[in-house]
Structure 1
Amino acid sequence: MSYKSGRIFLKFVEHKPLVLELKAWEILNMIYAHSKRDPLTKELLPKSEWHSLDRHHQDTADLAAEFSGYFGCSSLGRILGQNHDYGKATPDFQMRLNGAPAPVDHKTAGTLLVYRHYPFPYGLMLAYAIYGHHGSLPNHISVGTQTGLDQVLKHDFQSIDSAVPFLPELELSSIPMSGNNPGMELSLWIRMLHSALIDADYLDAERYFQPLKAELRNSFPSLTELHAQFHPKLQELLNKPQDSKMARARRYVLDSCLLAGTGSTGLYTLTAPTGSGKTWASLAFALKHAEQHANMRRIIVALPFTSLIEQTAGLFREVFGEGAVLEHHSNVSYLPDSESEFSAKQLASENWEASLIVTTHVQLFESIFSAKPSKARKLHRLAGSIIILDEAQTLPADLLKPSLAALKCLCDNYGVTVLFCTATQLALQPEWLSGAVPTEIINDSTSLYRKLTRVSISTIGKKTNAELFERLNSHPRALCIVNSRKQARALYEQFPDKEGVFHLSGLMCAQHRSQILRAIAERLKKEEVRCIVISTSLIEAGVDLDFPVVYREIAGVDSIAQAAGRCNREGHSELGLVFLFESIDYPLRDGWFKTRAQLTLTVLRLYPNLLEPEAIRYYFELAHGMGRNLDVHNIISDLDAGAKQCSFQFREISEKYKFIETEMVPIVIPYDCRAVMLLNELKTSLYPVRFNRELQRYTVSVYRNQFERLREASRIGTLHDTIHYLTSMKGGIDGEIHDLYSNKSGLSIWQREEK
């Protein structure tokens, strides 16, 4: 079943000259899209093993029509699939397949073909997609040395004698639009068509190059099957005894989500305190919503932190099984998309075909705004999805307006429902969402927060690490959260006796962190046993630990609320104690952390209880108000300015829309025997991409200058040009890395202090 947006009305007239089509079949049958080499000898295989162009065009067209049909554009998808590799029919490209070294541009011919044949704006929209199916979705206007589509479209078009294109006639009427964000709507439509073509092209190439891998696709359970698998877990949640305030609150949140799930598609908010069961309740909402709306295809849970993704995906796997959940983040790097033909890593770029996906905010939003095929490939899969935007308050303020505009467009035109889920809800303004007001699932969130007050928050001023050590050492159990990896390490080293003292930071790989968290949880079960934890903010989101005392370095109100969620979590005492401090040894540098911390101090002057919904709203009004530019790169205005001419600078937008400005490089840590075995297998594998997902558990991301420092010290190895790993002192993969990687505190390298 497909979702019809009602925005595009096309009628295709059937081709009549059957003889001409048969002639085209005969000609194209001697033309090839891909050649194949022996994986061991690298010699070209016989042409009987090659991929014919007509077969590739037809199969890609079938897939592209299926994908774009979900948003009412199957016929346009078929045109793209049938003509995207039109330029491969040239003698030059066929010589290239036979081993000629000179690169051949094969995308311009198909670009010009559709642009010249179809009227504006359809010809131009199709041209964007075809020209962008290798390399990148282009700018319309040339910038510097970067050639824009406008220059490409000025080239002379020469038909290829050996190929008859598929160019059905169109009967066109208008494209209805809401008019609120015309540039966003039109540009997203082009991106959707581009995405459908890329995914179809990659999948068909994969069937040819890697048939065994292709056979493994589409093995994920459907939403209907997931709903049935979730039923026992749901009954377990519903049958829990209501013997405490927290238990009753969790039941109320769950019941509210189940009721809201029967509502119409669109925008929702779930505002509930930390510890109130939002993870399972939001999933219950999504599954109920999918049951209510037959066109829904998948649930996408987007979270801000890799550590939180790992934990959430792990919880879901306990219910749905190992193979049901797709966990996708960026802890394994790829080389940039190139103009060349397919490589194994391109074919493996994730296309989100699963029904339940756990991913990062970065992956979700940069896919919407990216021009790179490997990122844009999965965009069309958002149509008909339920997006749970967990910890929504962490969206970058500088990109907030274009991010929200894109989500609203997905809801309006692609059958999407978005749930903003957080304990510290954004102060969403109707004008940011084209006048829409999201439906709040919790009827009286203020009352809920007050009922669940479990901590008192007080400030203790500026403290040195030595002073923090004295305070922490006086508690049998305490958690201390600081803002930098370097400070976490330094404070941990203050403890001469480390029995019962634990360190957590992003310089430890996920496998290592999971082991430490299990050790902490076990120790907390034992009465009268010391348990002191020094951590960066990664412990704040989703980690189910409960301390009577929490120290938090001053940060944004949302971060403090998350830290408070690790204090007296189960309500075992009347009130837990949360102490806020400023660091003397590691003062905040100018930037995001310092700005948010200063806003928190402002809020504290009016609202001593930072966890009140009114305090949280005031904080976000300050953070997003006072003239703050929430579209710092003018993405929306630039898109609107180009809407009438369909003139969009896709590459420029892709470069501007970045969640993380500082470049980080992932390194695989041979932390245990499993990691060593995987790296050694990867070394000789013909299909290295199959290791990527499991290697995510063993990666640590460092700043570029730290990576270069390790490489200069000959401590970085690289496999298949894409995956970096920490070598032993002898340069091998043997796990002898203890001089740089500690079982207590992770990777040790300090070129600069991170904030």
Structure 2
Amino acid sequence: MTALARPGQTLLAHSLGVSDRMSKYSPLPKWGALLGLLHDYGKYRPTWVEGMQRINNGEIIGRLPHHALEGGLLLLRHQPKAETLAILIASHHTGLPDVSEHKEKLKTELDDHQWMIDQAYTQTLKQQLQQADLGTLGQWLNCTPLQRAQRLRMMYGALILSDRQDAAQWQSPQYDSISALAKRLNDWYQNKYPKPDRGLNLKRWEFYQACREGAKHHPGWLSVRGPCGISKTWSVMQMALDHAALYSKKRVIYCVPWTAILEQSYDQYSEVLGNQNVIGHWSTLIDTDTTESKRIITARQWWDAPIIATTLVQLFNVLLNHTGSAAQRMPALKDAVIVIDEVQGIPNELVETCIALLNQLVQDHGVSIVLSTATMPDYTKLKIAPMECLSDHDYYFSAPELHRVNYEFRTQPWEWDAMADEIKRSGKTSTLIVTNTVAACTDCYQVMQQLEGYTIYRYAADMPPAHRRVVLQQIKATVTNRQKVIVCATSAIETGVQLDCDQGYRENTGIDSIVQFAGRINREGSQDTATVTVFRTAQKYTPPPGAEARCVATSRALALGTDLHSSTVLEQYSRWLSDNAKLDYNYLHNLGHLNWRTVSEKWQMITPTQAVLVDPRLWSQNSAVIAEYDRAVAACNYKILQQHCVGLYSCKYKKSKAAGLITVQDNGLAFWSGSYTEGLGVTTDYDAD
């Protein structure tokens, strides 16, 4: 009776196929080929062979026996010192474990004497066992504890990828080459933005050319500092593609902290470089009703494309999550250029862990890391020294065309009424106000509504993205038409949103956020200068996580001067944050002890929220939007529905549900049934703090 791996595929063919793929993906090709051959050895068990034949014949039977452990046991029979690799085989269906979980299991006796093994399998196994050298394995594992953990993770990811690709008989599509994409982007840019004679656009053109020159730096840690409004979106991608082409890197992985930036950048890159060459990945939800091709959906699983646009959450999910679905993307990181745009968005308490993980990719897997921001943190303490790719980045920060704002810091707490009076007296046409909390934004909005002659908008995180997009279009039109307008917003408007307001008020926060905010004021330099006022509220609001520490760090740094682009001020700010970071769990230490599962369970890059759907009928009369939403609800189309979700923190979600403001359907979708108004977003009658 022929052993089958699954209906329609023999076990021998699958084992040899996975072994062949592992020889290409694995950091140790010969050991990888051996693991690939052994991973499904347990499917030679007679009960599996019989059961799979019955399934192949159309019968419906119960669950087949587990089969992952046996391959690990067979490896230990021949190579007792390869225990860690045996664990990778034994866990290839359950995710990377804490090593202690599997040590007892590996003491199980393997009773395979009566199994009918294919002769070709036995012969191949004998050959591969001779080729897999213990000395090579020992040298590879003779490294720092973190390197060992992540090297084994790369090997595990290669095994999962090889297994799943062979099962799907996947053949990578023919993409355009990195060199061709670099040329295409440059041709497009030069055509769309020919060299201007003077002004801000000339500085942007010079910055782009400087980034192209910076791409020639040797692979490793690279950095690009550029002021807000210098058009880093195109310049940094061009630099990454040029660097990848020059040094034969396989792909560019573009990462940002916030989906608001990512969605915009993904659309722009796809339009210029071709949808077939760019894959976007910023949601863990599985879309069951999508117009995307099967090729795109499958390629996204493995990050199989020349350009990947994703979030920092997804990148570090690949590096730390213990599941096979995350680890299978590890091989895509090898020989890649990883762009970390707005790198200051890495949570302060996680910076050391994140930088150490990225540095391991640089050291072991031929990766170049490009850090990009207007406010570069100081990483000296973390023992990395990114090469500054621009020969004179101070030239761009000191350029008069980019000195578009002056900062004014208010030391005394401010009432909203006093701010409204000042805005009215200023006579400015457009004003942007950003607060640290939704509650403060709401209070500000209600006070500003009392001003006559102004259109008042609110833009906050308690509004679903679809609604925010409509409001943003209205805001831009009002600002462009020079109508009197006040925009009350949370930090959601600081990333991925291009505005050009006359003046701005920013609640005190980190210097990096203040600089991001200032990029929305006098963006095109239509005024000689504009004022950004940094203030503290008279009313007390519950601050978001980390906000107090960032405010203290800003105050300490500003004691050295109020030039927020000064390297001295920025270094002091990031150094104080780093020195005072509090980490409740030592991820690096526990990774070094191969506690993969526990690290994965404890890892949290952003404060988790629970998604609640807001029916667009509550804010729109657009029949097309409503019809699309209704279809998406009926089909559980998460790709569409996530545009109609708000994320509620656990406390507010539980209180709202208990109050009957949230209805959960059998399919798990949660719907907001409480109050929602266009001006105030999701509102409740209780204190959710």
Q: Which TM-score band applies after superposition, normalised by the shorter structure?
A: 0.7 to 0.9
**1:702-721 aligned within 5 A:** 702-709=648-655, 711=657, 713=660, 715-718=662-665
Contiguous gaps of at least 5 residues in structure 1: 1-26, 35-48, 142-147, 208-213, 336-345, 643-647, 730-738
Q: Find the counterpart in structure 1 of residue 529 from structure 2.
A: 575
Give 2:671's match in structure 1, choosing from 726, 734, 751.
726
1:448 is displaced (CA, Å) by 3.0
Matched, 1:521 2:473: no
Change over 3 Å in CA distance of 1:62–1:467 after alignment to 2: farther
Give 2:154's match in structure 1, choosing from 186, 192, 204.
192
Change over 3 Å in CA distance of 1:117–1:499 after alignment to 2: farther
Q: State the SS of the aligned residue for 1:156.
A: coil
Change over 3 Å in CA distance of 1:585–1:181 after alignment to 2: farther
Q: Find the counterpart in structure 1 of residue 223 from structure 2.
A: 269
Give 1:633's match in structure 2, choosing from 585, 596, 608.
585
Q: Which amino acid aligns with 2:646?
A: V
Contiguous gaps of at least 5 residues in structure 2: 289-296, 617-621
Q: State the SS of the aligned residue for 1:606.
A: coil
Q: Distance in 2 between the 1:664 and 1:185 partners?
A: 32
User: What do the CA deviations read for 1:286-306 (whole angstroms, capped 9, x no partner)?
Assistant: 111122122x11111111111
User: What do the CA deviations read for 1:593-648 (whole angstroms, capped 9, x no partner)?
Assistant: 0111122122223312233222111111111126x46x6533334455x4xxxxx1
Give 2:77's match in structure 1, choosing from 104, 116, 133.
116
CA contact (8 A) 2:362 2:369 kept: yes
Q: State the SS of the aligned residue for 1:462.
A: coil
Q: Find the counterpart in structure 1 of residue 283 from structure 2.
A: 330
Q: Find the counterpart in structure 2 of residue 477 from structure 1.
A: 430
Q: Find the counterpart in structure 2 of residue 459 from structure 1.
A: 409
Q: Distance in 1 between the 2:62 and 2:207 partners?
A: 63
Give 1:700's match in structure 2, choosing from 635, 638, 646.
646
CA contact (8 A) 1:333 1:665 kept: no
Q: Distance in 2 between the 1:218 and 1:698 partners?
A: 33
User: What do the CA deviations read for 1:352-403 (whole angstroms, capped 9, x no partner)?
Assistant: 1122122111111121111122222212101111111011112122222222
User: What do the CA deviations read for 1:197-222 (whole angstroms, capped 9, x no partner)?
Assistant: 22233334445xxxxxx79x737544
CA contact (8 A) 2:214 2:390 kept: no
Q: Find the counterpart in structure 1 of residue 569 from structure 2.
A: 615
Give 2:164's match in structure 1, choosing from 199, 202, 217.
202
Change over 3 Å in CA distance of 1:567–1:445 after alignment to 2: same
Q: Which amino acid aligns with 1:308?
A: I
Q: State the SS of the aligned residue for 2:104.
A: helix
Q: Which amino acid aligns with 1:375?
A: A
Q: Find the counterpart in structure 2 of residue 33 from structure 1.
A: 5
Change over 3 Å in CA distance of 1:676–1:542 after alignment to 2: closer
After superposing the two structures, state which structure 1 stretch, 326-335 or 475-484, moved more: 326-335
Matched, 1:63 2:21: yes
Give 2:394's match in structure 1, choosing from 442, 446, 464.
446
CA contact (8 A) 2:154 2:330 kept: yes
Q: Which amino acid aligns with 2:68?
A: K
**1:482-497 aligned within 5 A:** 482-494=435-447, 495-496=449-450
Q: Find the counterpart in structure 2 of residue 566 from structure 1.
A: 520
Q: Distance in 1 between the 2:462 and 2:96 partners?
A: 35
Q: Which amino acid aligns with 1:656?
A: K
CA contact (8 A) 1:206 1:347 kept: no
CA contact (8 A) 1:270 1:419 kept: yes
Q: Find the counterpart in structure 1 of residue 308 from structure 2.
A: 357
Q: Find the counterpart in structure 2 of residue 657 from structure 1.
A: 603
Q: Distance in 2 between the 1:76 and 1:99 partners?
A: 37
Aligned residues: 654
CA contact (8 A) 2:69 2:91 kept: no
Matched, 1:425 2:382: no
Q: Distance in 1 between the 2:181 and 2:314 partners?
A: 23
Q: Find the counterpart in structure 1 of residue 484 from structure 2.
A: 530
After superposing the two structures, state which structure 1 stretch, 155-164 or 354-363, moved more: 155-164
1:86 is displaced (CA, Å) by 2.3
Q: State the SS of the aligned residue for 1:157.
A: coil
1:102 is displaced (CA, Å) by 5.4
Change over 3 Å in CA distance of 1:590–1:500 after alignment to 2: closer
1:111 is displaced (CA, Å) by 2.3
Q: State the SS of the aligned residue for 2:565.
A: coil
Matched, 1:375 2:309: no
User: What do the CA deviations read for 1:467-523 (whole angstroms, capped 9, x no partner)?
Assistant: 334444554310001111232233223315796322212223333322322222222
Change over 3 Å in CA distance of 1:693–1:469 after alignment to 2: same
CA contact (8 A) 1:331 1:699 kept: no
Q: Distance in 2 between the 1:187 and 1:50 partners?
A: 36
1:708 is displaced (CA, Å) by 4.0
Q: State the SS of the aligned residue for 1:288.
A: helix
Q: Find the counterpart in structure 1 of residue 345 from structure 2.
A: 394
Give 1:81's match in structure 2, choosing from 36, 52, 56.
36
What is the RMSD computed on CA atoms of the aligned residues? 3.3
1:228 is displaced (CA, Å) by 3.7
Q: Find the counterpart in structure 2 of residue 153 from structure 1.
A: 106
Change over 3 Å in CA distance of 1:79–1:707 after alignment to 2: farther
Percent of residue pairs identical? 24
Query: TM-score under structure 2 normalisation?
Result: 0.86
1:421 is displaced (CA, Å) by 0.5
Q: Find the counterpart in structure 1 of residue 182 from structure 2.
A: 227
Change over 3 Å in CA distance of 1:314–1:532 after alignment to 2: farther
CA contact (8 A) 2:507 2:536 kept: yes
Q: Which amino acid aligns with 2:481?
A: K
1:417 is displaced (CA, Å) by 0.7
Q: Find the counterpart in structure 2 of residue 145 from structure 1.
A: none
Q: State the SS of the aligned residue for 2:357.
A: helix
Matched, 1:218 2:180: no
Change over 3 Å in CA distance of 1:329–1:750 after alignment to 2: farther
Matched, 1:236 2:198: no
Q: Distance in 2 between the 1:505 and 1:182 partners?
A: 45
CA contact (8 A) 1:224 1:291 kept: yes
Q: Which amino acid aligns with 2:24?
A: E
Matched, 1:250 2:198: no
Q: Distance in 2 between the 1:702 and 1:92 partners?
A: 48
Q: Distance in 2 between the 1:636 and 1:506 partners?
A: 33
CA contact (8 A) 1:683 1:719 kept: no
Q: Distance in 2 between the 1:741 and 1:81 partners?
A: 54
Query: TM-score under structure 1 normalisation?
Result: 0.79
Matched, 1:406 2:357: yes
Matched, 1:140 2:102: no
Q: Distance in 1 between the 2:306 and 2:40 partners?
A: 31
Q: Distance in 1 between the 2:499 and 2:646 partners?
A: 23
